Amino acid sequence: MDFSLSEEQQLLLESLDELLERDCSLAYIAACDAEHRQPVEFKRAMHEAGFLTLGFPEEYGGTPTDTMTLCLIAERVARQGLNLGYSTEILQVLDILEFGSEEQKQAVLGVLAEGEVPFALAFTEPGAGSDSAAMAMTAVHRDGKVVLNGTKTLVTNAVDSKYLLTMARNPDATDPRRAISMYLVPMDTPGIELSPILKMCWHTADSSEIFYNDVVVDESCLVGVKGEGFVQLMKNFEVERIMTATQSLGLAEAAFEDAAAYAAQRVQFGQPIGNFQQIQQKLTDMAIKIENMRNFVYHSAWMVDNDCLDRTQAAMCKRYCSLAAFEVCDDAMQIFGGLGVTEGVRVERLWRDARGHRFGGGTDEIMVHIVGRQIVKQHSR
Amino acid sequence: MSTVVAYKWSANPQDAVVGSDGTVDWSRAKAGVGEYDTIPIELGRRLADATGDELVGVSVGPAAVASPMAKKAALSRGLDRAVVLADDAVAGWNLTRVAAALAALADRAEATIVLTGDASVDENAKMTSALVAGSLGWPCFQDVSEVARTDDGWRLTQVVSGGTREIEVSGGVVVAVTTDAVVPRVPGMKEILAAGKKPVDEVSVSEIELPEAALEIQGRARPVMATRKHHVFGGTDAVNQLVAAMRADGAI
């Protein structure tokens, strides 16, 4: 089994390292986190260097790229300490490139070129988180228009977004499985009200509650096929779960490096604390978890690229990596002692951001729901 | 007619580890296009785009210079093609022979201008540009931040103490570019994939004529370390005393 990177992947990662050194310093990330703002400058630089169009079809200015390479890039950016710094936009835009009209594609690609977030996904509702079937937002089609009413919550990156990719239900649909549709709604449409939500994690990605009060849009805002919204959204969800796992992996690697370096130089009782067995055990277990995460992520990416991803792999990968990364960050914080909870020490931010991945993109428990029932089903006679 | 850039494929000394006994461990240092060489490549790319010339990279080094990885790394930076001399025998060459070989490759590429970095990242001798110019019989200008084509040659902006000066040169010229002349582009996947298809001309030692410049290194030693002085000047005349002491030590 050959685990080596191709020359192209090696060179691409070297290019990425150059970009990270130039446009995404540790101080820059810390400032974005402290100021609760998007790393727009870095994303613009990534777009100029062609990273944000990797995986896109060539006719849209992209370079077809395998999932493995996308994961390598996402991991490296997260390892720099920037959570959600890469990959989320690509996956979102792929949905539009696959199902959207030409006008929608050009609109979204244009925003991406500015280094800005193409759109925010408005999916979760106060009464419909893991239970997405309980979605209450309605979309009523009438005379060439669509009227949207409802509330979405914990919408990521909506504050500066130009569009909301909104999931809404047709109240008159007879088949509940074909009730939900996808709409690309301009943020400045009358009737949309946004209320920011402050969080303890993911400061570089804002969250909002969004109220749709008789929002009227043209039917051309429909993305893809009416009634197929959920199926369309789920198409890339498996890859999105693997990408979320790469975020966890990268953050854990950053925390581990910080903790190991600290343990090697922090002196207590006349010697580096890295000499003490309990610290060494923590570091060893952290290294093992990181190795496991790495293997899980890249095996999963390999399965996507070889078209053999089964129904449980992505969910298992996401669950394991989210939990393991948080444990690694927590141990890293413990190694730092009191210093670890002070602002300005990176591990504090890594710990907060790692925690968010235990529910972002699907909770730990929903991953069990997906995998567990499948395991039982496979073993049932 | 071509704009030629001389680049070096070498290990980054920042990755080398110096032991307490002074030995240098290069095992962790990864080879790459010299950090200072990416700048003339970028400058050359912009110049070639403006003039319509071809941008050709030339390099002399051990066999690894012609490896697929080395070729792609250099070509993905914006070169149209490369001409390289890749031979492990080069490891024992002095700078004069290396520069003469680079000049021969530049001549082979029909250079009208040769750009180099400020210095090589590993040796930092800052001599290659002058030696290449000497071999070609061309003038050489170092610390150049801008280059433009004129009707019969080039206009250079050279950084000098206290500012810059504009120089017009007719005919061919060798230019060493400052480290802040341009910000080099970062190769993306498109550039890396395209690099694999660009031509590389591999030249052997027997195909070029080289001078018999002999250089024998007699020895290496650390410079004598002066003892650090700890002298605190006090009183109202402290500043004058400090200045006098620094003058006496030749510091000012």
Residue of chain A minimizing CA distance to B77: A15
Residue of chain A minimizing CA distance to B190: A63
- Please tell me the predicted confidence (pLDDT) of residue B120: 81
User: Chain A within 8 Å of B245 (Cβ-Cβ)?
Assistant: no
B71 within domain boundaries: yes
Backbone angles phi and psi of A160, in degrees to 5: -105, 10
Mutate to test the interface with A, among B75, B186, B191 (most CBs of A within 10 A): B186
DSSP B89: G
The 10s digit of each residue's pLDDT in B220-241 is 888 888 788 888 999 999 999 9
B223 within domain boundaries: no
Any idea where the domains of chain A sit in the sequence? 7-113, 120-227, 236-379
Q: What is the fold, at CATH topology level, of the domain defined by A120-227? A: Butyryl-CoA Dehydrogenase, subunit A; domain 2 (2.40.110)
CATH value at residue B46: 3.40.50.620
Instruction: Report the residue from A14, A19, A69 with minimal CB separation from B32.
Output: A14
- Please tell me the predicted confidence (pLDDT) of residue A276: 98
The 10s digit of each residue's pLDDT in A46-82 is 988 999 889 888 888 888 999 999 999 999 999 999 9
B222 within domain boundaries: no
**Percent of chain A at pLDDT exceeding 90:** 77
User: Chain A within 8 Å of B11 (Cβ-Cβ)?
Assistant: no
Q: Which residue is listed with tokens 């002399």? A: B60
CATH code reported for the domain at A236-379 = 1.20.140.10
- Please tell me the predicted confidence (pLDDT) of residue B225: 82
Say yes or no to pLDDT of B91 above 90: no
The 10s digit of each residue's pLDDT in A83-109 is 999 977 777 788 888 899 999 998 888
Residue of chain B minimizing CA distance to A15: B186
Say yes or no to pLDDT of A281 above 90: yes
Contact A117, A146 (CB under 8 A): no
Number of Cβ pairs closer than 8 Å across A and B? 47
B229 within domain boundaries: no
Contact B167, B180 (CB under 8 A): no
Instruction: Report the residue from B69, B186, B190 with minimal CB separation from A63.
Output: B190
Instruction: Report the residue from B68, B72, B190 with minimal CB separation from A50.
Output: B190
pLDDT class of A308 with cuts at 50, 70, 90: very high
What does the pLDDT average to over A227-244?
88
Torsion of CA B113, B118, B121, B124, to 10 degrees: 110
CA atoms within 13 A on the CB side of A172: 5
Please state, in angstroms and rounded to a whole number, the distance separating the CA atoms of residues A247 and A87. 9
- Please tell me the predicted confidence (pLDDT) of residue B217: 80
The DSSP bridge pattern shows strands B2-6 and B54-61 to be parallel
B184 within domain boundaries: yes
The 10s digit of each residue's pLDDT in A156-171 is 989 888 999 999 999 9
Partners of B76 on chain A (C-beta within 8 Å) are 11
The letter for the amino acid at A230 is F
Instruction: Report the residue from A11, A18, A19 with minimal CB separation from B192.
Output: A11
Residues with Cβ within 8 Å of B182's Cβ and at least 6 positions away in sequence, in order, are B39, B42, B43, B46
The 10s digit of each residue's pLDDT in A187-199 is 999 999 999 999 9
Say yes or no to pLDDT of B171 above 90: yes
B246 within domain boundaries: no
Distances A82 to A43, A89, A192, A267 between C-alpha atoms, Å = 11, 15, 30, 29
Partners of A60 on chain B (C-beta within 8 Å) are none
- Select from A305, A329, A203, A250 the least CA-distant residue to A87: A250
Please state, in angstroms and rounded to a whole number, the distance separating the CA atoms of residues B59 and B106. 9
Structural domain for B36, as ranges? 2-207
- Select from B64, B59, B98 the least CA-distant residue to B75: B59
**Domain A7-113: homologous superfamily in CATH:** Acyl-CoA dehydrogenase/oxidase, N-terminal domain (1.10.540.10)
B106 within domain boundaries: yes
- Please tell me the predicted confidence (pLDDT) of residue B69: 95
Say yes or no to pLDDT of A30 above 90: yes
- Please tell me the predicted confidence (pLDDT) of residue A88: 72
pLDDT class of A185 with cuts at 50, 70, 90: very high
Specify the number of domains making up chain B. 1
**Percent of chain B at pLDDT exceeding 90:** 73
Between these two residues, B117 and B22, which has the higher pLDDT value?
B117
Question: ipTM for the complex?
Answer: 0.83
Say yes or no to pLDDT of B194 above 80: yes
B236 within domain boundaries: no
